Amino acid sequence: MRITKDFNTLDDFNFKDKTVLLRVDINCPLDKSTLRILNDTRIRSIVPTVRELIGKRAKVVILAHQSRKGKWDFIGLDQHAALLSKNLNAKVEYVNDIIGEEAKRAISSLGAGDVLLLGNVRELECESVSADMSDHAESELIGELVPFVDYYVCDAFGASHRSQCSLVGFPAKVPSASGRLMAREIYSLKTIFEKPRRPSVFILGGAKFEDVPVMMDNVLKNGGADFVIVTGLAGNAFLLARGVDIGEASRGVLADELTEENFRAARDVLSRYGEKILLPVDTAVERDGKRVCVSTGDMPTSEPALDIGDQSIDKFRKVILSSKTSFMSGPAGMFEKPGFEEGTKRLMMAMVESNGLSVLGGGHTAGAAEKFDLADRISYVSTGGGALEAFMLREPLPVIEALKYSKKRFGPDH
C-alpha cells in the first residue's frame, strides 16, 4: 500500500551500490552529570529504515544532531553510533567530522551495505540558520556533500518543523525520499487528527521553556485546545513569570532558559489566555531522601523542584479525565529518579483512563511511557515533539514541503 503520493518513499528508488545520505532525528535525553544517553527510543525508531537500506545494498551515510550549540547536552554522536550498531546488530562507523577530509574519505571508502554516522551536524554554522530551501541548497554543507551523494532520504520526523540545511537543502539538489518512520508518522497522524474530539487538552512539560509560549499561543489562538497544562521545568519557569519565587536551586536548573525575552513571551500568553492556562499549584522536592510536596504559597524552597506536587497532579488529572483528546509533550518531572515519576506517570494514566484519543510526543516522553508500560495503552506515540505540535496545528512542515518539491523536480526512479 502506498502511504502518500506527494513524496517518494524507499519504494521509489534503486539504491543498490548508491550512496544514500540519510538524515535522522536521534536527539536523545542525556543524564546531566554523566552525559550518557538515558533513552534510545529515537535510535530504535530509525532501525527499520537503516536495515532496509542495508538490505537494498546502499552505502548509508547518516547525518544527525544532538541538542543545540550552547546547551549542556550538545555533544558528539559516538554513543549514538554505538547504540545504533547494537540495535541494528551491524557495524556503524563513526567519524567526528561532517564536511572535512576525514568525512569525505570515510564516505568514499564505503562498500554496499556499510553504515557511517557523521558528527553532530549542528556543529556547522549553516545548520543554525533558518532559511528556505533555495537558500539552504547553496549552503556549505550541501555544496561539500552533494558530489558524494546519489540519493537523500529523510527520516527525521522529529525535526521536520525545522527549516535547516541538512533537512531541506538536499532535496533541491538530489532525488529524495522519506524514510519509513517519517512516512508512518505522517500517515498515522493524518488519520488520527482528521477529526479530533473536544474538549482537548495539551500537557506541555520538559525543559524547552522557550518553545512553550509560542506553542500555547498557537493552540489557544486557533482554538485547537480548550486547556493547556504546563508542567516540568517549563512549569517552574511559568511560575516564576507569574511572580512566584521558586528559589535559587530551581532557578539554577533553568539558567539557560531564563532570558528576558522568554519571560516576556510567558507573561504575554498568561495575560491573554488567563484561566485556559493551568500552572502547578505545588511542586515536589527531595528532602531527607523523600519526596515532599510544597505549595506555591510556601515557596521558595532551598531544594530544586523535581516534579509537580500531588495537588497539581489531582487538579490536572480531573481536566485530563474529562477531555476527549489529550496530548502530552515533555515529562512533568525528573521521572528517571525514583519518587519523582509520579507527575508524569499519573498524568499519563489519566490520559489512558479518559478513554479519549491520547497522543504522546517527543523522545523523552515516549521513553517515559515505555518505562511505565503505558506505551501500548496510548492511542499514538510519536517520536516528534515540536514537529508533532506543528503537525497538529496544521502548519506546513518544511521537510515535507522539500520532499514534495524533490519529487516534482526529480521524480521517482521507476
Residues that bind ligand 3PG (CB under 6 A): 25, 27, 68, 158-159, 162, 385-386
CB closer to ligand 3PG, 9 vs 382:
382
- CA distance to 9, 21, 110, 278, per residue, from 174 (Å): 14, 10, 19, 47
CB closer to ligand 3PG, 83 vs 159:
159
Instruction: Write down the least CB distance from residue 80 to ligand 3PG, Å.
Output: 12
CA-wise closest residue to 42 among 233, 184, 181, 250: 181
Instruction: Write down the least CB distance from residue 377 to ligand 3PG, Å.
Output: 24
- CA distance to 171, 284, 347, per residue, from 305 (Å): 44, 6, 17
CB closer to ligand 3PG, 13 vs 157:
157
Instruction: Write down the least CB distance from residue 164 to ligand 3PG, Å.
Output: 8
- Given a contact cutoff of 8 angstroms between Cβ atoms, the answer to whether 80 and 34 are in contact is no
Question: How does DSSP assign 321-380, residue by residue?
Answer: HT-SEEEEES-SS-TTSTTS-HHHHHHHHHHHHT-SEEEEESHHHHHHHHHTT-GGGSSE
Instruction: Write down the least CB distance from residue 158 to ligand 3PG, Å.
Output: 4
Q: Give the distance from CA 250 to its chain's centroid.
A: 24
Distance CA 277, CA 213 (A): 11
Instruction: Write down the least CB distance from residue 384 to ligand 3PG, Å.
Output: 7
- CA distance to 118, 199, 363, per residue, from 39 (Å): 21, 32, 8
Instruction: Write down the least CB distance from residue 167 to ligand 3PG, Å.
Output: 10
CB closer to ligand 3PG, 67 vs 87:
67
Instruction: Write down the least CB distance from residue 25 to ligand 3PG, Å.
Output: 5
CA-wise closest residue to 349 among 378, 371, 306: 378
CB closer to ligand 3PG, 92 vs 159:
159
CB closer to ligand 3PG, 80 vs 162:
162
Burial label for 62, CB within 10 Å (0-12, 13-18, 19+), is buried
CB closer to ligand 3PG, 160 vs 312:
160
